[in-house]
Structure 1
Amino acid sequence: LEIVGIRPTSKTTCTGVEMFRKLLDQGQAGDNIGALLRGVDREGVERGQVLAKPGSVTPHTKFKAEAYILTKDEGGRHTPFFTNYRPQFYFRTTDVTGIVHLAEGTE
């Protein structure tokens, strides 16, 4: 297995799987499990990382997106933001501080 995301990708072997304190033969995508990983302690992983088949997942630190920002009346921001605004982005189980770079001519 590979541990992917947030930190540099690392390789390990899963030696056990638990769910609600019961030992299982396997876990499936979407399951919340406890995985015993060879050579990895609790400090070696953090929320938001992914266990994946080696080479199947590539982490990214930059992406382009088109977003609709809610107006004040819609329950959104009360003040405008500009390039270099640093919001929190939420991805599944983790949050990361990012930087917004607006396209030229965008207000």
Structure 2
Amino acid sequence: MQGIPPIRSRRGRRRRKPGKLHGDKGYDYDHLRRWLRGRGITPRIARKGMDSGQRLGRHRWTIERTMAWLAGCRRLHRRYERKASHFLAFTSIACTLICYRRLTK
């Protein structure tokens, strides 16, 4: 959370932090909730044994699906590149190919 770059907004200054954070039951800890609230971020975390995580899936599945698509690229599945710039280049190529495939369907 501390390494998040500024978030672009349409009006005004760039925000330095998100307004809320969505998480599944694996992040249901009081110290994490206190930490987020102390920084002015609203935690949207499912509770263990109480809530179902179905409502949070709308936001989480998009990210998990994208990561699964990137994991399908063999070069990215295991990081073979020694230089971070090369790895970033292959990640950019993979994202371009994924977007191209989605647009041509």
TM-score range, shorter chain: under 0.3
Would you tell me which structure has more helix in proportion to its own residues?
2
Would you tell me which structure has more strand in proportion to its own residues?
1
Q: Larger relative CO (CA 8 A, sep 6+): 1 or 2?
A: 1
> TM-score, normalized by length of structure 1?
0.22
